[in-house]
Amino acid sequence: MVTPPGSAGSRPAFHFTPRREWINDPHGITWRNGTYHVFYQYVPDHTAWAPQCNWGHATGSTLFALREGQPVLAPDQDDDGVWSGSVITDPEGRGRIFYPSVSVPDFSLGSVREATTNDPDWAAWDKGRVVVVPPEGLDLAVFRDPYVYRDQDRWRMLVGAGLRDGTAAALGYSSTDLTDWRYDGIVAQRPVDARDPVWTGAAWECPQLFEIDGRHVLITSVWDDDKLYYAAYGIGALHGDAFVAESWGQLTYGNSYYAPSFFRDRTGRPCLSLWMRGIADLDSGWASAHSIPYALALDGEALVARPHPDIERLRGPRRNSDHRSIGPLSDVNWEPADDTSRLRLLCGRRLVLEITRRPRELVVATSAGSTGMPYSDGEVRVVLDAGVVEISTRDGLLGFPVAAWERELTIDRVEGHLKTYDLHQLPPASREQI
C-alpha cells in the first residue's frame, strides 16, 4: 500500500526531506555539543536511487526540525559510491566516519574506508585509507554497511553480509586503536529458508548491535536478490564474539520503512530513525523522507518503538473528546474498544485512513488500498504529517504515504478511547539549506 511517487503533492512539515533530489538511509546520528548531526545517503541530480551515493548532512537541536547542509563525502577516483556507514567520536575528540567504498559495476562487495574531521561543525571531512576488506575464505555475495561501536576496552565493527549459499550474516571485527582491525568471524547468521518466527532474507543490510536493559539487540534490514523488505531484529546475548539470539521478531510492516539507524539521544535513550520510501514530489524535484525518531524499549521478547518524546514540543492543546475533526498535522492516540473497533478519517468525502481492529491484527486502509500488521493490545499511536502516516503499537511500526491534505480531517467513525493533539512545524524547516 504505497502511493505512487509524486502523488503526495505536498512536502511534510516535520519529516526530514531533501530540498531537492534523492535521499535514503539515515546513519551516524549523533548528539554532540547541543546539536544533532544526521548523515544520510544522498544522490545529486537524481530523484531515484543510483549507486553514486554521497553522504548528506543535516543538523538541529531536535530531530523534528533539521537544517540541510552541504554533502560531507562524495565519490572520487578511489570510490564510485560512498554508502551507508557509521560515525563515532574517537578518544582524541575527532569525528570518524566508517563507510563502504564501492565500485561500479560490482558494488555489492565494498571495502570499509575511513574519513576524519577536526572541524567543530563536522561539515568538512578528509577521506583516509581502507581499513577492512572482505575476508578470505567466505563466498560472499554482499559485504557493506559497517557499524562501529565501543565495547568495554575495544572497538567493534559489524559489517552486513550475504553468502552465496543464501546465508544472511553480520561479520565482526575488533580494534584497540581504530587503525588496525582484526577479523573475528561471523557474529550472527541465519539461512534464507529460516522462516520461524520471521524470515530474515539472504543478506543483512545495516546490521547494528546494541544493549537495552542488559540484553543485546541485533537489528537489520532484510534483503534478498536486490529487493528490500523490512526491519527485523534478534534479542539475545553476546557470547565472546558471537551474538546468540533467544528470539527473533519483525519491527516494520508495509512497503515504506527500511534501513533503521540506531542512535542514543541527548539523554542516552536508545532510539532509531528509518528511511521512508514512496514519499516524493517529483514535480518539485525531491524524493524520499526519514521517519520521525522513535524511542526503543524491550517488552518481554518484543522490541517496542514509540514516537520520541520530543514530539511533544510540536503539540498544541489536546482537542476535546467530542470534537469531530483533527488538524492536518496531528498526534492521535487510540485505544480500540474490542475486536471490531474502527477509526476512520475523511478529507471531505475522500477516505484518508481507516484502521480496523481484528483478532490479533490491525487492518489499515486508505483510498489506495489496504494492508495489515499484527496487534495484541494497547495504544495505537498515529502521527499524521501532510501526506505521511506513521502508526506504532507494541507489535511494530507501519508507515506509508497517502494523498496529501491541507485542511482538517473529519473523524467519521471511532470506537474506543481517542485523544488527539494538533501538531505544528518547528523552525528551521528541513528544506532550508545552509
| Mean pLDDT per 10-residue interval, the chain, length 434 residues | 45 96 99 98 98 98 96 96 98 97 93 98 98 97 98 97 99 98 99 98 99 98 98 98 98 98 99 98 96 98 98 90 85 94 95 96 95 97 96 98 90 93 74 39
Give 359-364 contacts, CB < 8 A, sequence gap 24+.
Answer: 362/391, 362/393, 362/398, 364/1, 364/391, 364/398
C-alpha cell at 192: 534464507
Which pLDDT score, from 0 to 100, does residue 426 have? 77
The dihedrals phi and psi of 282, each to the nearest 5 degrees, come to -65, -30
Which helix (H) or strand (E) is 275 found in, with range? strand 270-281
Collapse the DSSP code of 293 into the 3-class scheme (helix H, G, I; strand E, B; otherwise coil) and give the result.
coil
Name the amino acid, one letter, at 336: P
CATH code of domain 317-423: 2.60.120.560
Q: What is the pLDDT of residue 428?
A: 54
Cell of 331: 498526534
For residue 73, which of 48, 94, 44, 93 has the smallest C-alpha distance?
Answer: 44
- Provide the 8-state DSSP code for 73: B
Alpha-carbon span 362 to 156, nearest angstrom? 39
Q: Are residues 58 and 67 in contact, defined by beta-carbon separation less than 8 angstroms? A: yes
**CB neighbour list of residue 110: distance below 8 Å, 6 or more residues apart:** 83, 100, 101, 102, 143, 144
Q: Which H/E stretch holds residue 307?
A: strand 302-307
Distance, CA of 421 to CA of 147 (rounded, Å): 37
**Domain spans, the chain:** 21-310, 317-423
Taking Cα atoms as reference points, which of 278, 382, 279 lies closest to residue 326? Answer: 382
Q: First and final CA of the chain: distance in angstroms?
A: 35
pTM (two decimals): 0.95
Phi, psi of 314 (to 5 degrees): -90, -10
| Whole-number pLDDT of residue 14 | 95
* Assigned C-alpha cell, 342: 474502527
Please give the single-letter amino acid code of residue 67.
R
274 near 252, Cβ under 8 Å?
yes
Strand partners, 54: 42
The pLDDT value given to residue 183: 99
Cell digits of residue 76: 572520487
Residues 258/236, Cβ–Cβ less than 8 Å: no
Give 305: exposed, middle or buried? Use CB within 10 Å, 0-12, 13-18, 19+: buried
Largest CA distance in the chain: 66
Closest by Cα among 69, 37, 178 to 113: 178
Question: Does the domain made of 21-310 have the CATH classification 2.115.10.20?
Answer: yes
Q: How far is 186 from 108, CA to CA, in rounded Å?
A: 18
